[in-house]
Structures are given as C-alpha cells and as structure tokens.
Structure 1
Amino acid sequence: MQNIFALIGLGLILFVIYWRVFYLNRKKAIHFKTPKKFPKEWRKLLQENVHFYQNLNSKEKALFEKKILHFFRNVRITGVKIKVELLDRLFVACSAVIPLFAFPKWQYPNLNEVLLYPEVFDKSFDDKAPKKTIAGMVGTGNGMDNMMILSRKSLRNGFQIVSSKKNVGIHEFVHILDKADGTIDGQVGSLNKTEFAKPWFELMEKEIEKIEANKSSIDGYATTNKQEFLAVTSEYFFERPRLLKKNHPKIYKLLKKTFNQSMAKRMSSPFKKRNQIGRNDPCICGSGEKFKNCCLNN
C-alpha cells in the first residue's frame, strides 16, 4: 500500500513540474502562418546566418527552402518565457533539414513541437538553477513524447560561433532520427542499411577509448553512451567536416554514408563566410577568455 501511495505522490510531483514548465511558463503562442512561397527576407537571413545554406547551389537552395516550409507546417515552435523570433524559427527548421537534406521523402513523424527556453536548464527544466547544464533534450514519457526542448542561446551559438564543432539543434534532431526506427541505439537505422552497424560500433568503441585517454578531438560528452556518440560526431560532421575528415577519416567516411552527404566537399571554410572575430577579441561563447585562448584552439 505504501508503494502505491509513493507512486501516486511521484506522479503528482511529475504532473506539477510538467504543468509549470509546459503550460504556466509558456508565452502565449503567436499564430505563425506558413507562407506558400519562401519570402525573400527569410532567404536573406539564411544567406547571412546559415553556413550550410550558403554552400548550396540555386537548385539545392530551393529544395532546402521547400523543406523548411514543410517543417513549419508540421511542427510547432513555442517559446517558454520568451518570444520566438523569426531567426529562431529558421534555426530550428535548419537544424531539422540539414541532417535529412539528402533524403527527399524523409520526415519527422515522431515530433510535434519544439519548446525554446531562453538559457540552458537543469533536469527539472529550471533555467535559473545554479547547476543548469542542459542545452537540449528529446522528450520521452510524462506527456513529453513527440517534443523537443532547446536552449535558444545554445541554438543561436551553434549557427553563429565560427569555430565551433557543436550545434545543439543538429545534435537533438539526430537523436530524433536515432529514435525514429523505435530503437535508440546510436545509429540512424532508418536512413541507411544495417551493413554500416558493425563497423560503426567497432569504430565507436575504439574512439571512445581514445577520447578517454585525451587522444581525440571529439568532445568528451560522446563517451556518455552510444546515442550521444552518434549525436556529437554528427554535429562535428556538419559543422566542421574538413576537420573531422582530417582528424578522424574513418568516422567521417561512415557518417558520409549514413547521411548521404559529402560534407567536406560541399562546405567552404567556416571562417570565409561566417562572422569574423579577431584573435584577441572576447570569445563569443561567453567564456570571458580571448578568442585565441578559447574556441580558436578547437
């Protein structure tokens, strides 16, 4: 009997947290009507802020824009304690489109809504907590199925920090793809043949050992589990493909097959078309260090 009451109590606590986070704290949703044609001002924003889009030819850009409109028609983007700006919406949609760009018919049937928080948050979805570390997550259970949560600040940094190998939007959408075949196992089984699985997991195991021994340029968060290894290396693949190919050619090769995109060939140097920053300028990641002593080294 005590166990039953304990479970009921836990359920009530989770319900209160869910109610506070996903209803009371939401900004009143602004009706966002998806246009039939891609607006010129949207195209300008993409050209100025999205490196992937900058490197597409005219035909590819038209396809990219079409996929963004399709995403907006099927997925809500809601601000929690913030007003969602147009650039935020475009960054979310680009995060979704980039991993699937080479798969014309693939969608995100297991996603209905993306919630944007102003900052990173903790496990209780508190963005004011002293030990907040979460920049994004894919919801599971407790009414959070088919939902994604992103820190707007982290989302913007993923597209605007020139030297970063990180993009939290792409990271979380790769988790959605991983989840799409019903199994979160660190491979995007729905996009490629299972023949990639064995070499991928063997390579993953060896690389995790190198990361733990500080002999890898891959972020240490990749050692958390198989699904995080996939998401972290996918960020690297789409953000800094030439560097990944140079430092980890085997991983690059398998991700190239997985996403059906030759990113190193497609992408120009991120320093040519994205916002420039001087070596002695404050690093735009917010660390307070000079750029040369912070993100430039990565």
Structure 2
Amino acid sequence: MNVFFTVIGFLLFGYLGFWIWYRNRPAYSVPSRFPVEWKELLQKHVHFYQNLNEKEKRRFEKNIRNFLKQVRITGIKVEVTDLDRLLVACSAAIPLFGFPSWKYNYLHEVLLYPASFDRNFSMDNPEEVITGMVGSGRNMDGVMVLSKKSLHNSFGNTSDKHNVGIHEFIHILDKQDGEIDGIPGELNNKEYAKPWLRLMRREMQRIRKGKSDIDAYAATSEEEFLAVASEYFFERPKLFQQKHPDLYKTLRKVYHQDMKRRLRNPFRKPRRIGRNDPCPCGSGEKFKYCCMKN
C-alpha cells in the first residue's frame, strides 16, 4: 500500500512539474547568439537602439534575449514575426535599461492582436478602441494584450509622444511593488512619494483645464498619468524637458536615464550593410567573412 501511494505521489509530482513547465515554457526558441538579422531590424526600426554605443547595444541585446526567454509572445489571429518579438522586447527593455539587472515579475505572456480591440477582446466594436492593456483576474493575471498594428506604429513614429508597448510595460513596472498606483518603486519611500504625488496631481489639474500638452488620458487616474508621462519622456525627451522640467527631472531619477542626452541623434534609416563593412556582431571581422556566411 505504501508503495502504491508513493508511486501515485511521484506521478502527481511529475504531472505538477510538467504542468508548471508547460505553462511557463517559452513559445519561441531563443538563439544562443544574437542573430545579425535581429541587429539589422533593431537598427532599422528602434530609435533607442540607434543611439546606443557598441557596448550598450550588446547589453541591450542581452536584455532582449533574457526577456524572450522568460515571456511568451502569442499571436491571436495573426502571425508573430521576429520583428514583432523584438518590438515587444524593446518595449520591455527600454524603461529598465538604466538598471544593471532587471526582470518583470508579474508577466508571463504577451498576446498580440492584429488591431485594436474592446474589453471583451472583440475586434468588431467601433465604440471601444483599446490598443493595449494589462490583464487581471484569474485567467488574465500576468498577461499583457497589445495591438500589433499600434505596436508597429509606435516605433515607426518617434514624434508623437506615444508608444503603446512602453505604456503597458510601465504599468507592469508600476506593479513590481505589488500594486499599480502611479508611484514607481524608486519613489515608494514617503520622502520621495509625497513630492511626486503633489507634482503629478498638479499636472493632472492642468491637463483637465486644457493647459498641458500631455495627453488627456493621463488625467483619468494616477496610474495612467505615470504611463502616459513616461511615454512622453522616452519618445520626446527634449520637448518633455522644455515643457515639464520638474517631471523630467523626477522621471530621469526613476528610470536612471537622461533620455534627452541619450536620444541625441534623430531617427534614421541606415544603409544596407556592405560586404566589406565591419560585421555588426562586433567580431572585428568584415561582414563577408563573418555573419554574411551564415
């Protein structure tokens, strides 16, 4: 009888282990070496990446690989391409690039929809247009939903102060202390939280009175203010500092990044890598002798 229960216990333990692995398995096999094709996609589509030096690019690429190992990206009625995966991972990596080690503890899957959707995830409701959301509840906890079209538009337009991917990942970052409340972990100490709350609420009042260029959605709640203001900070830092110097100074402290200095060069489309150019993998070899052969 003891042997019987031991076997049953062993089987149940094995099944539970398999179920945990299956739920958290990566949906995509991440290459052991960052592919040169991925580097080209980042250089072509991601303004943030374009402005990094070679050492920073390697660190950014490492962060992207780590994210893709940890979080599944699933298409809902849409194919998920390498560019889709990279843009989702960039949305996650950009806000936390100023931290030496990082991980989103409250996320295990990102669902990509072809276009906007409503709160019931229907794409046929013109009355409600949602381009991104962080799920909650039993079946959606730890899940983010993004519109693929909006994600691409966010990285294609660097002058509109908006990035839906960054916006939603700010919510996940806000939740790192256990609650989405508009107070980043860096400011949770009361000494810093009170000045931030005063600054935030004052600006929310200016938005409601039509006296601010921050998107009106930021005035709907404190958590949305943090996400919208952070989009502005990462997308248009020079203008953000000019219009909102106190907010810029605070968010620079929160994210450990001076985005005005980082995004010193305008978004540009690079020329195609030539056969005799240095290989973008950083090997020091010519492209034709290195990654071009692969």
Q: Which TM-score applies when normalising by structure 2?
A: 0.80
Structure-2 residue corresponding to 1:273: 268
1:141 maps onto 2:137 in alignment: yes
Hey, what's the Cα distance between the residues in 2 that align with 1:156 and 1:196?
35
Counterparts of 1:35-114 in structure 2, within 5 Å, are 35-114=31-110
Structure-2 residue corresponding to 1:164: 160
5+ residue gaps, structure 2, are 1-25, 271-294
Secondary structure of 1:265 counterpart: helix
Secondary structure of 2:61 counterpart: helix
Q: Check conservation: 1:112, 1:146, Cα contact below 8 A.
A: yes
Counterparts of 1:235-246 in structure 2, within 5 Å, are 235-246=231-242
* RMSD between superposed Cα atoms in Å: 1.7
Deviations 1:204-250 (A, max 9, x none): 11101111111111000000100000000000000000010001000
Q: Which amino acid aligns with 1:102?
A: G
Structure-1 residue corresponding to 2:178: 182
Structure-1 residue corresponding to 2:230: 234
Q: Check conservation: 2:47, 2:158, Cα contact below 8 A.
A: no
Structure-2 residue corresponding to 1:219: 215
Q: Check conservation: 1:160, 1:274, Cα contact below 8 A.
A: no
Secondary structure of 1:107 counterpart: coil
Secondary structure of 1:42 counterpart: helix
Deviations 1:142-161 (A, max 9, x none): 31001000001111111001
Hey, what's the Cα distance between the residues in 1 that align with 2:228 and 2:158?
17
Q: How many residues are matched?
A: 245
Residue among 256, 259, 283 paired with 2:255: 259
Q: Which amino acid aligns with 2:140?
A: M
Structure-1 residue corresponding to 2:123: 127
Deviation at 1:32, TM superposition (A): 2.0
Secondary structure of 1:159 counterpart: helix
Q: Check conservation: 2:187, 2:196, Cα contact below 8 A.
A: no
Hey, what's the Cα distance between the residues in 1 that align with 2:120 and 2:62?
36
Secondary structure of 1:121 counterpart: coil
Deviations 1:238-269 (A, max 9, x none): 00000100010000000000000000111125
Structure-1 residue corresponding to 2:204: 208
5+ residue gaps, structure 1, are 1-29, 276-298
Deviation at 1:192, TM superposition (A): 4.9
Q: Which TM-score applies when normalising by structure 1?
A: 0.79
Secondary structure of 2:48 counterpart: helix
Hey, what's the Cα distance between the residues in 2 that align with 1:98 and 1:266?
12
Deviation at 1:193, TM superposition (A): 5.5
Percent identity, please.
Answer: 55
Residue among 29, 37, 47 paired with 1:33: 29
Q: Which amino acid aligns with 1:184?
A: I
Deviations 1:7-37 (A, max 9, x none): xxxxxxxxxxxxxxxxxxxxxxx95210111
Deviation at 1:132, TM superposition (A): 2.9
